[in-house]
Amino acid sequence: MNDIGWLGNATLEGTQAIAVWCRNGSDVVSAPDADPTYTIYSADWTQIQTGTMTLNPGSTTGFQAVTESVTAARGYAVGNKYFVKIEYAISAVSYGSIGVFGIH
Protein backbone atom coordinates (compact mmCIF):
# COMPACT_ATOMS: atom_id res chain seq x y z
CA MET A 1 0.00 0.00 0.00
CA ASN A 2 1.23 3.46 -0.89
CA ASP A 3 0.12 5.91 1.78
CA ILE A 4 -0.70 9.33 0.39
CA GLY A 5 -0.98 10.93 3.82
CA TRP A 6 -2.55 14.33 4.49
CA LEU A 7 -4.46 15.73 1.51
CA GLY A 8 -5.27 19.06 3.16
CA ASN A 9 -8.35 20.91 4.37
CA ALA A 10 -11.32 21.60 2.12
CA THR A 11 -13.99 24.23 2.64
CA LEU A 12 -17.49 22.85 3.12
CA GLU A 13 -19.53 23.41 -0.06
CA GLY A 14 -16.27 23.44 -2.02
CA THR A 15 -14.06 20.74 -3.53
CA GLN A 16 -11.16 18.49 -2.50
CA ALA A 17 -8.56 17.29 -4.99
CA ILE A 18 -7.59 13.65 -4.51
CA ALA A 19 -4.67 12.26 -6.51
CA VAL A 20 -2.54 9.12 -6.52
CA TRP A 21 0.61 7.85 -8.19
CA CYS A 22 -0.20 4.27 -9.19
CA ARG A 23 2.80 2.06 -8.40
CA ASN A 24 3.50 -1.59 -9.15
CA GLY A 25 5.00 -4.17 -6.78
CA SER A 26 8.50 -2.80 -7.45
CA ASP A 27 7.26 0.68 -6.44
CA VAL A 28 7.61 1.92 -10.03
CA VAL A 29 4.99 4.40 -11.27
CA SER A 30 2.88 2.52 -13.82
CA ALA A 31 -0.37 2.91 -15.71
CA PRO A 32 -3.26 1.12 -14.01
CA ASP A 33 -5.28 -1.48 -15.92
CA ALA A 34 -8.38 0.74 -15.48
CA ASP A 35 -9.21 4.00 -13.70
CA PRO A 36 -8.71 3.59 -9.93
CA THR A 37 -11.77 3.52 -7.67
CA TYR A 38 -12.05 5.39 -4.39
CA THR A 39 -14.17 5.16 -1.27
CA ILE A 40 -14.39 7.97 1.29
CA TYR A 41 -15.14 7.16 4.94
CA SER A 42 -15.94 9.38 7.92
CA ALA A 43 -13.93 9.06 11.15
CA ASP A 44 -16.42 6.43 12.42
CA TRP A 45 -15.87 4.45 9.15
CA THR A 46 -19.26 5.27 7.68
CA GLN A 47 -18.98 5.21 3.89
CA ILE A 48 -19.61 8.73 2.53
CA GLN A 49 -18.88 8.52 -1.21
CA THR A 50 -17.48 6.22 -3.88
CA GLY A 51 -16.32 6.90 -7.39
CA THR A 52 -13.76 6.47 -10.13
CA MET A 53 -10.61 8.55 -10.57
CA THR A 54 -11.05 9.44 -14.24
CA LEU A 55 -8.69 12.43 -14.46
CA ASN A 56 -5.16 11.96 -15.78
CA PRO A 57 -3.57 15.39 -15.29
CA GLY A 58 -1.04 16.18 -18.00
CA SER A 59 -1.50 12.70 -19.48
CA THR A 60 1.17 11.57 -17.01
CA THR A 61 1.65 7.79 -16.77
CA GLY A 62 0.26 6.43 -13.50
CA PHE A 63 -1.04 9.77 -12.19
CA GLN A 64 -4.79 9.62 -11.55
CA ALA A 65 -7.04 12.15 -9.83
CA VAL A 66 -10.58 13.24 -9.02
CA THR A 67 -12.13 16.44 -7.69
CA GLU A 68 -14.63 15.56 -4.96
CA SER A 69 -17.52 17.92 -4.12
CA VAL A 70 -17.54 18.27 -0.33
CA THR A 71 -21.05 19.43 0.49
CA ALA A 72 -23.37 18.91 3.44
CA ALA A 73 -25.85 17.24 1.09
CA ARG A 74 -23.20 14.60 0.28
CA GLY A 75 -22.57 13.88 3.99
CA TYR A 76 -19.62 16.15 4.82
CA ALA A 77 -19.42 18.35 7.95
CA VAL A 78 -17.12 21.08 9.25
CA GLY A 79 -14.49 19.88 11.73
CA ASN A 80 -14.47 16.27 10.55
CA LYS A 81 -11.71 14.18 9.02
CA TYR A 82 -12.29 11.80 6.11
CA PHE A 83 -10.28 8.79 4.95
CA VAL A 84 -9.88 8.00 1.25
CA LYS A 85 -9.19 4.40 0.20
CA ILE A 86 -7.98 4.10 -3.40
CA GLU A 87 -7.80 0.77 -5.22
CA TYR A 88 -6.36 -0.12 -8.62
CA ALA A 89 -4.74 -2.99 -10.51
CA ILE A 90 -1.55 -3.14 -12.57
CA SER A 91 -1.08 -6.27 -14.70
CA ALA A 92 -4.04 -7.83 -12.83
CA VAL A 93 -2.35 -7.38 -9.42
CA SER A 94 -4.35 -5.32 -6.88
CA TYR A 95 -2.85 -2.31 -5.09
CA GLY A 96 -4.15 0.40 -2.81
CA SER A 97 -3.45 3.77 -1.24
CA ILE A 98 -4.95 5.74 1.61
CA GLY A 99 -5.14 9.44 2.38
CA VAL A 100 -6.89 11.79 4.83
CA PHE A 101 -8.48 15.22 4.46
CA GLY A 102 -10.42 17.57 6.71
CA ILE A 103 -13.29 20.01 6.30
CA HIS A 104 -13.17 23.55 7.66
**Which domain does 23 fall in, by range?**
2-103
- CATH no. for residue 37? 2.60.40
CA dist 45 and 19 (Å) reads: 21
pLDDT at 3: 74
What is the chain's pLDDT, residue by residue, as a tens digit (104 residues)? 567 889 999 999 999 999 999 999 999 999 999 999 999 999 999 999 999 999 898 889 999 999 999 999 999 999 999 999 999 999 999 999 999 999 99
DSSP 72: G
Q: How many domains does the chain have?
A: 1
pLDDT at 87: 97
pLDDT at 74: 95
Are 53 and 5 contacting, i.e. CB atoms less than 8 angstroms apart? no
Tell me the three state secondary structure of residue 5: strand
Are 65 and 19 contacting, i.e. CB atoms less than 8 angstroms apart? yes
